Chain A
Amino acid sequence: DAKTTQPPSMDCAEGRAANLPCNHSTISGNEYVYWYRQIHSQGPQYIIHGLKNNETNEMASLIITEDRKSSTLILPHATLRDTAVYYCIVRGNSGGSNYKLTFGKGTLLTVNP
């Protein structure tokens, strides 16, 4: 899997948009960008994934640059419950050992009242 780089921490005011960046400059053509988060003492939670088009679901939006070397996860209206470590990973299709998820250090997002 391609390596990703994320800032170690970010702060966001409650009710504002949280924009979490991720660099994945060595991503290959068939690799997807996935985002998970882990709230303290809970299991990882899937947020969203995409290949090259921007994606949106009920939790977040994922903006992937045209060259696919970076992406941004957007939480449109952050709440205190969104305080968590956010992990950006890139993964290929199933096959080989792509099922082995590995998380880097992620970004600790702290949403402040």
Chain B
Amino acid sequence: GAGVSQSPSNKVTEKGKDVELRCDPISGHTALYWYRQSLGQGLEFLIYFQGNSAPDKSGLPSDRFSAERTGGSVSTLTIQRTQQEDSAVYLCASSFGLAGGPETQYFGPGTRLLVL
């Protein structure tokens, strides 16, 4: 079946511009996660959605970052007034969202953001 998809795959923007990144999770997955990965670095957790609610936004680096999820499916991550340090690969993952068991997260291909 279809996996997690993300768009765009690459985005080059100028410092100060806003960008919007999109994630389509696997159908039926109620949990959705955003991470980012800077060059040569590990995963940095950003936000977790269960349905349309975001019980954990603790990883968002600043108030320039926001995310929403509508209809329990598609999610968008918005970065306002981008800065060069925002350059990274933004990864989305989804899982079934079932409580009490191990939750395997399946990742999308990522959006490579470059802020000039």
Contact = CB atoms under 8 A, between A and B. Distances in A.
B101 interface: yes
A113 to B, nearest CB: 26
Interface string A71-113: 0000000000000000000011111011111111100000000
A32 B102 contact: yes
Given A101-B35, A103-B42, A103-B43, A94 B99 contact: yes
Given A97-B56, A99-B33, A102-B43, A44 B101 contact: no
Interface residues of A, number: 22
Interface string B79-116: 00000000000010101001111111111111000000
Contacts of B93: 44, 101
A45 B56 contact: no
Interface of B: 4, 31, 33, 35, 42-43, 45, 48, 56, 59, 91, 93, 95, 98-110
A94 B59 CA distance: 18
Contacts of A105: 42
Contacts of B56: 97, 99
A43 B4 CA distance: 10
Given A42-B109, A43-B91, A44-B107, A93 B102 contact: yes
B110 A46 contact: no
A101 B105 contact: yes
